[in-house]
Structure formats: C-alpha cells, structure tokens
A and B are shown apart, each in its own frame.
Chain A
Amino acid sequence: MSCSRRNFLKDAAGAAFVSSLPLSAFVILTTEEAKAAVAAATVRWGYLVDTNKCTGCGMCVKACKNENEIPYDAPVTRTWVERYVVTKDGTTHIDSPDGGRDGFTSDKIRDEEVDPENIAKAFFVPKLCNQCDNPACVQVCPVGATYKTEDGVVLIDREWCIGCGYCIMACPYGVRFFHPDHKVADKCNFCYHRITKGMMPACVESCAFGARRLANLRDPDDPVTKIITTERVAVLKDEYGTKPHVFYLGLDNNVR
C-alpha cells in the first residue's frame, strides 16, 4: 500500500471537514414533520406600544420585575420606560431613572431643571424585547442556548447558556442583560409562561392606560392585530433588518 503525501493531505483535510460538522446538520425534516410545523404555527406573537397613552407611571416595570423574578434593586430590567422632553430650541432631554421602575415623579431630568414654558413636547416610550424574526442575538449564540420558538418568541435556555455575553453585545436594541442570580443572559420573553396560558404579559395587565398590548399576528380578527395592520405603526431600527415585532403608534423621530 502506498500513500503519497498529496493523497494523505487530501484525506486528512476531508476527515477534518467531516468531523467538524455537527451531527444535527444532517437532520432533514420529513414531509410530515414539515407540514406539522407549518400547521402548528397558528400563533405569532406581536406587541403594540401606544406612546400617546403612556403616562410614565412605571407600573409595568415594577410588575415585570416581580413577575419574572428580576432582582428588584439590581440595575437590570427586562422592560423600561424612557422619558423624552424636547425643548423649543430642538434639544432632546432623555432619562430613565431605574428604568422607570418607580415612575417619573420629578420634572428634573438628570438633575437638570427644564423650564416648562420652554417644552415643546414630552412623552414616554416603553421599550422591551422586539422578538425579531431575524434575531441577531440568536445568530451569534455559540452553543444554541437562545432560539426562536414557533410562535415567534425568542427564549433563552438557562441550563444551556454559558454566559459568554455575545448576544448581549449583538442585540441592537440593548434589551439583553446578564442575570445577576442565574449568571446567564436574560431578556423579556413576553411573559411566555403567561401568554401560553391565555393570560396577558404582566406589563400589559398592569398598564392602566392601554399603552401596552399583545397581539396574535396570525389571527386577523385580533383587535390589536387589526390596529397593527390597518393603522400607521413604526418599528425601532428597521434598517438593521432584524424584523422586530414590537410596533409603535405615535413614535417620534427622537426615539432611537
């Protein structure tokens, strides 16, 4: 038996390539499985934020932290409320003390007085995970610990996450953070444990003003879906191509 150096290198390269493929790369769905996947997809969760209605009471942030066991005093939160105050000279003042957890009870912004006579407009913008169709955070996960479910929600597997933080850096909306207790990445999941039981997310339930609402985008009769499909809504950072599924009514150009 002879073995030229050329052949050996060829075989070795081939073997290295094959062994580097994960086994699951070869999984091919049978027709039945593929059909089942499509049929099951009767739900695609979306979310509507009406910035015209938000009063900045912060009850949503408080409810979210309690419901999802996010350490109450740690500087992390799954959802937060930003305040925008635009003065007549065009400057925008933005703040979100403790994510808006205790509401906005002072008219000072970052210890700065803004003369009320000088304010052109002021509004509050709740932010949360956009449950993107092309989630950048999922693409970068090196271990398959974060993924998109069939109903469109991006979840994090706390058993599997190694806490590397790539996803936290990858999210263009900055919704991910490091959970101080579980030592894994964490973010809003539309209260997956509630919406799969037919309940509303804690933030939606706690909003007295109807500024936050949940939609099943696959159900054309869903009243919130109707608003999203028939009224003028906007999404954040559309240019990133992430296809976010949190829609905003009355979104101002100052909001990034």
Chain B
Amino acid sequence: MKRHVLHPLWVAVGVVGLIFLARLVLVPDDFGVHGDSFTYNYYRLGNIDEWKNFPVKYQGSDTCVECHKDNVRTHRRSPHKRVQCENCHGPAASHPDDIEYLPLNRERAMCLRCHADLDYPESSARSNLPAIVDRHHKRRRECVTCHNPHDPREDVE
C-alpha cells in the first residue's frame, strides 16, 4: 500500500484507539444495560443507590407520638386528624436534634389553604370543607387566637 494511503489510515486508527482509551478511563464500570431494553435501561447502576440515599425530611405524624403525646392525642380525635402535623409545622427531619423548636406557623394563610371560601358548586371537593370568607371572618387576627389548630371544635368564643 502507498504511503499516502497508509498514513491517514494510521491516524484514523489512532484516533479511534484514543476514543476507546478515553471511554475506558471516563466511563464508570457500572455503566451499561441493566434491564431488558437498551433504550430505557442504559445507565450508571450506582445512581440508583445515590437516589435511595437522598435524605428523608418528612417523618410522618406517627413519629411525633413519642414526645408530643398530648398534641397527638388531641389531634387524633379532632376533625383535623387527617391533616398531617408536618403540613402545618414543616418537615421534622432534624427535629429535635438540630432544630429544637419547629416553627409555629400562625399565619391566616396556612388555614385559608383549606378554609378560604371559593363558592364553588356542590360537586367540588372544596365545597365539602367548612369555609369562611377571609375579608369577613375576624379580620387581621390569627385564627389560632380563637380556634385550637389541633382540635378546631374547642374553645370558640
């Protein structure tokens, strides 16, 4: 073969070799097809564990019992029992270790998420909730001055 043919050929072979070498170094060992489809299951296996180890933040109301028995007991027998503690108090992941006091959110806006009157037809799930009109219901006062958030049936004066 003539030199002007061989020369570029070697260059091409060299480039391809370099690409393979780079792939060997750069692509992790666990990268490949893990499953039955090349289209959907071509990935780095280690990433699954990375996602599994993502920190959990919402603990669930059951974990509060241990330390806040009274609140949990009141809450469980109230019409608010379906509303998770952490919906109102925020995620309790690092509580009470790092965050000793979970915030007490007394804003009207928090209660209005469920109780603002939208005046929708019966068929709307929203219409099944007891509703108030923000503008007319005891304006500018926190709801919890009159309603107990853990059992809203009590203490209304």
Interface stretch of the complex, out of A102-110, A173-181, A231-239: A102-110
- Bound-state CA distance A159–B47 (Å) is 8
- Bound-state CA distance A209–B125 (Å) is 9
B47-A208 in contact (CB<8A): no
B87-A148 in contact (CB<8A): no
CB contacts (< 8 Å) of B118 on chain A: these are 104, 107, 122
CB contacts (< 8 Å) of B116 on chain A: these are 103-106
CB contacts (< 8 Å) of B47 on chain A: these are 155, 157-160
* Cβ proximity bits B86-100 to A, threshold 8 Å, 1 near / 0 not: 110011000000000
B41 shortest CB reach to chain A, Å: 6
Quick one: which of B56, B83, B114, B125 contacts A194, CB cutoff 8 A? B56
A220 in the interface (beta carbon within 8 A): no
B151 shortest CB reach to chain A, Å: 15
State which size class the interface on A falls in.
35 or more
Given contacts A3-B5, A208-B84, contact A135 B120 (CB under 8 A): no
B106 in the interface (beta carbon within 8 A): no
CB contacts (< 8 Å) of B142 on chain A: these are none
* Cβ proximity bits B1-30 to A, threshold 8 Å, 1 near / 0 not: 110010001001100100110010000000
CB contacts (< 8 Å) of A199 on chain B: these are 56, 60
CB contacts (< 8 Å) of A77 on chain B: these are none
A74 in the interface (beta carbon within 8 A): no
Quick one: which of A56, A66, A159, A192 contacts B52, CB cutoff 8 A? A192
- Bound-state CA distance A206–B86 (Å) is 8
- Bound-state CA distance A233–B34 (Å) is 32
A166 in the interface (beta carbon within 8 A): no
- Bound-state CA distance A122–B117 (Å) is 13
B93 shortest CB reach to chain A, Å: 9
B48-A206 in contact (CB<8A): no
Quick one: which of A3, A85, A205 contacts B60, CB cutoff 8 A? A205
- Bound-state CA distance A24–B20 (Å) is 12
Of listed A63, A68, A120, residue having the most chain B CB within 10 A: A63
A49 shortest CB reach to chain B, Å: 12
State which size class the interface on B falls in.
35 or more
Of listed A68, A139, A157, residue having the most chain B CB within 10 A: A157
- Pairs A–B under 8 Å by Cβ, sample size 6: A66-B57, A105-B113, A116-B120, A149-B48, A158-B50, A208-B84
Residues 11-29 of A at the B interface (beta carbon under 8 Å) = 12, 15, 19, 23-25, 27, 29
CB contacts (< 8 Å) of B120 on chain A: these are 85, 116, 119, 122
- Bound-state CA distance A206–B109 (Å) is 17
B126 in the interface (beta carbon within 8 A): yes
CB contacts (< 8 Å) of A192 on chain B: these are 51-52, 54
Quick one: which of A12, A121, A147, A206 contacts B124, CB cutoff 8 A? A121
A193-B56 in contact (CB<8A): yes
Residues 133-167 of A at the B interface (beta carbon under 8 Å) = 134-135, 138-139, 144-150, 155, 157-160
CB contacts (< 8 Å) of A146 on chain B: these are 43
A54-B125 in contact (CB<8A): yes
Quick one: which of B41, B44, B52, B90 contacts A148, CB cutoff 8 A? B41
* Cβ proximity bits B60-78 to A, threshold 8 Å, 1 near / 0 not: 1000000000000000000
B114-A193 in contact (CB<8A): no
